[in-house]
Structure 1
Amino acid sequence: MPDVPGVNRLSGADRGPGADRATPPGPPPGPRDPGDAWAVGPDGTKAWGRFGAAGLLVDDGSGRVLLQHRVEWSHHGGTWGIPGGARHQGEDAVTGALRESAEEAGVPHDGVDLRHTAVLDLGFWTYTTVVGRASRPFEPVIADRESLALSWIPVDEVADLPLHPGFGASWPTLRAALDTTPHVVVDAANVVGSRPDGWWRDRAGAAATLVAGVDALAADGIAASGLDLPFARWWPRWTVVLEGEARLAPDTAAHGVEVVRAPASGDDAIVAAAERALAEGDAPVVVVTADRELRSRVEALGAGARGPAWLRDALPA
Structure 2
Amino acid sequence: MPDTTPPGPPPGPRDPGDAWAVGPDGTKAWGLFGAAGLLVDDGAGRVLLQHRVEWSHHGGTWGIPGGARHQGEDAVTGALRESAEEAGVPHDGVDLRHTALLDLGFWTYTTVVGRASRPFEPVIADRESIALSWIPVDDVDDLPLHPGFGRSWPALRASITTTPHIVVDAANVVGSVPDGWWKDRAGAAARLLSSVTALAASGVPADLLALPFARWWPRWTVVLEGAARGASADGTDVSGPVEVVQAPGSGDDAIVSAAQSAVDAGDGPVVVITADRGLRARVEAIGAVVHGPSWLRDQT
Tell me the TM-score normalised to structure 1 length: 0.92
| Aligned partner of 2:77 among 86, 95, 116 | 95
| Aligned partner of 1:78 among 35, 60, 69 | 60
Contact 2:101 2:214 in 1 (8 A): yes
Task: Write the letter of the residue equivalent to 1:113.
Answer: D
Contact 1:215 1:255 in 2 (8 A): no
Give the aligned partner of residue 191 of structure 1: 173
| Aligned partner of 1:124 among 93, 97, 106 | 106
- The secondary structure found in structure 1 opposite 2:254 is helix
RMSD of aligned Cα (Å): 0.9
Deviations 1:248-279 (A, max 9, x none): 31254144310011111110100000000101
Give the aligned partner of residue 159 of structure 1: 141
| Aligned partner of 1:308 among 276, 288, 293 | 293
| Aligned partner of 1:49 among 20, 28, 31 | 31
Matches within 5 A, 1:105-120: 105-120=87-102
Contact 1:219 1:255 in 2 (8 A): no
Give the aligned partner of residue 229 of structure 1: 211
Deviations 1:166-190 (A, max 9, x none): 1001100000000000000000011
5+ residue gaps, structure 2, are: none
How far has the Cα of 1:25 moved from its partner?
A: 4.0
5+ residue gaps, structure 1, are: 6-16
Q: What is the identity percentage for the equivalent residue pairs of Structure 1 and Structure 2?
A: 81
Task: Write the letter of the residue equivalent to 1:152.
Answer: W
Q: Distance in 1 between matches of 2:231 and 2:157?
A: 40
Contact 1:66 1:82 in 2 (8 A): yes
Deviations 1:257-313 (A, max 9, x none): 100111111101000000001011101100000111111100000010011101001
Task: Write the letter of the residue equivalent to 1:313.
Answer: D
| Aligned partner of 1:210 among 183, 186, 192 | 192
Deviations 1:175-223 (A, max 9, x none): 0000000000000011111111111111100000101110111111111
- The secondary structure found in structure 2 opposite 1:33 is coil
Task: Write the letter of the residue equivalent to 2:242.
Answer: V
- The secondary structure found in structure 1 opposite 2:229 is helix
Give the aligned partner of residue 298 of structure 1: 283
| Aligned partner of 2:120 among 116, 120, 138 | 138
Contact 1:116 1:234 in 2 (8 A): yes
Q: Distance in 2 between matches of 1:177 and 1:262?
A: 32
Task: Write the letter of the residue equivalent to 2:72.
Answer: G
Give the aligned partner of residue 250 of structure 1: 232
**Inter-CA distance 166–92: structure 2 relative to 1 (3 Å threshold):** same
- The secondary structure found in structure 2 opposite 1:301 is coil
- The secondary structure found in structure 2 opposite 1:113 is strand
Tell me the TM-score normalised to structure 2 length: 0.97
